[in-house]
Amino acid sequence: MNRIVSLSCGLAILAMSGCGSSLDPSTNAGQNTEGSSSENLPVAIQLNWYPESEHGGVFQAESDGAYTTAGLQVDIRPGGRSAPVAQELALGRVQFGFANADDVVVYRRQGLDVVAVLAAMQDNPRCILVQQKSGAESLNDLAGLTLQCQAGRPYLEFMRSKGLLDKVKEVPYFGSVASLVADPKIAIQGYSCAEPLLAEQEGAKVRVLMVSKLGWNPYSSVLVTTSKLIQEQPDMVRAFVKATQAGWKSYLKDPTKGNTAILKANHHGMTANVLKFGSEQMRALAMPPGEQSKVFGNMSLERWTGLVKQMDALDPSQANLVKPEDCFTDQFLK
């Protein structure tokens, strides 16, 4: 739902120096991927938030047996407000993770070997949520409000570059809609596939202000791994990507199995109604007009190039550290 990128310089140095060893659960990785096996290859994935609909494809693939059929035994590890996705990848404790495309750019700026292999959401669900009686009808109307948000996020810097936060008080966000519900002068960051319904269930009439309408639209629910794993175990990566891709397609058609699994894994107040709402909202985000005929999870060099240019413009001191073509590969989607 909401992400934070928080990495130490020491970790970046560790990752670059190769001190972390990647998991190598089997020297025959990638074999037995055409059918189930009593000795399936163990694979771990780190979520970037508490289990929710934005992770639905993975839970669906686990629940309907797609991973087992691919010869994989998958350990889905919940995240939280400071989910250690890049850390776990760098240390070799997981083979895959969830991120947003802008997170990938940040990670690579820090010298971390993170590569996107599938983008479930083509349109970003990031929004600012306000009460209807707040007086804010667009992102240009936030002056005078207090915004609960996670500091340092690139989308905030993008909004700041547009002058939208000049008269906004920014305070930490702790993953709850309670303050928004209690005070019309409070705005919160959110995802359009979750927080709006959570707030309305608490009795607040809200307005969803999409950040993507400003021109900030990184891929979201991005499946990431490392180039090291891609080079060393391409068959295993291919098997996981294809099974996850199938899980997402299934989830967006009928999320029942995935949502049941998510409810069991989420211990932070998630409800069946919110998950149903989220999965419905995600269909348009995952398959917007113009993308429905393309390969699911598709990514383009054009969009990655545009994102890197935007982020370089926001922080010239970090410009030219990341090449767009290094951020992703679509070789496992074809």
pLDDT digits (tens, 9 = 90+) for 31-70: 444 444 458 999 999 999 999 999 999 999 999 999 999 9
Q: Of the residues 174, 194, 214, which one is the last residue of a structural domain? A: 214
Percent of the chain with pLDDT over 90: 83
User: Is residue 28 very low, low, confident or very high in pLDDT (cuts 50, 70, 90)?
Assistant: very low
User: What pLDDT is attached to residue 182?
Assistant: 97
Q: How many separate domains does the chain show?
A: 2
131 lies in the same domain as 173? yes
User: Is residue 268 very low, low, confident or very high in pLDDT (cuts 50, 70, 90)?
Assistant: confident
Q: Of the residues 163, 187, 214, which one is the last residue of a structural domain? A: 214
C-alpha–C-alpha distance, residues 188 and 25, integer Å: 42
Percent of the chain with pLDDT over 70: 89
- Residue 273 predicted with pLDDT over 60: yes
User: Is residue 29 very low, low, confident or very high in pLDDT (cuts 50, 70, 90)?
Assistant: very low
Average pLDDT over residues 266-282: 93
In a domain, 44, yes or no: yes
In a domain, 1, yes or no: no
Domain of 210, CATH number, reads: 3.40.190.10
110 lies in the same domain as 223? yes
Q: Of the residues 182, 214, 246, which one is the last residue of a structural domain? A: 214
User: What pLDDT is attached to residue 269?
Assistant: 81
Tell me which DSSP letter residue 139 carries: G
183 lies in the same domain as 208? yes
Helix (H) or strand (E) holding 238: helix 234-253
Torsion of CA 163, 165, 167, 171, to 10 degrees: -160
User: What pLDDT is attached to residue 20?
Assistant: 34
User: What pLDDT is attached to residue 302?
Assistant: 98
119 lies in the same domain as 131? no
> Higher pLDDT residue, 89 or 20?
89
For 179, the domain range is 126-214
In a domain, 4, yes or no: no
- CA 267 to chain CA mean position, Å: 19
Average pLDDT over residues 240-261: 98
117 lies in the same domain as 230? yes
In a domain, 3, yes or no: no
pLDDT tens by residue, 195-233: 999 999 999 999 999 999 999 999 999 999 999 999 999
In a domain, 67, yes or no: yes
C-alpha–C-alpha distance, residues 214 and 208, integer Å: 14
210 lies in the same domain as 143? yes
User: What pLDDT is attached to residue 83?
Assistant: 87
In a domain, 332, yes or no: no
Average pLDDT over residues 118-123: 98
In a domain, 54, yes or no: yes
135 lies in the same domain as 276? no
Surface-to-core class of residue 55, CB atoms within 10 Å of its CB (0-12 exposed, 13-18 middle, 19+ buried): buried
User: Is residue 16 very low, low, confident or very high in pLDDT (cuts 50, 70, 90)?
Assistant: very low
196 lies in the same domain as 312? no
User: What pLDDT is attached to residue 292?
Assistant: 75
113 lies in the same domain as 144? no
β-bridge pairing 96-99 and 126-131: unpaired
195 lies in the same domain as 170? yes
User: In sequence order, what are the residues at sequence separation of 6 or more whose Cβ sits closer than 8 angstroms to the Cβ of residue 243?
Assistant: 61, 66, 67, 69, 70, 72
Average pLDDT over residues 274-288: 95
User: Is residue 22 very low, low, confident or very high in pLDDT (cuts 50, 70, 90)?
Assistant: very low
pLDDT tens by residue, 171-201: 999 889 999 999 999 999 999 999 999 999 9
C-alpha–C-alpha distance, residues 334 and 332, integer Å: 6
Buried b (16+ CB within 10 A) or exposed e, 61-78: bbbbebbbbbbbebebbb
Which stretches does DSSP call E strand in the chain?
Answer: 41-46, 72-77, 96-99, 115-121, 126-131, 146-149, 169-172, 186-191, 206-210, 220-225
Per the CB < 8 A criterion, the answer to whether 50 and 79 are in contact is yes
Q: What share of the chain is helix, strand, coil (3-state, %, to 5)?
A: 40, 15, 40
In a domain, 333, yes or no: no
C-alpha–C-alpha distance, residues 66 and 7, integer Å: 33
89 lies in the same domain as 229? yes
User: Is residue 81 very low, low, confident or very high in pLDDT (cuts 50, 70, 90)?
Assistant: confident
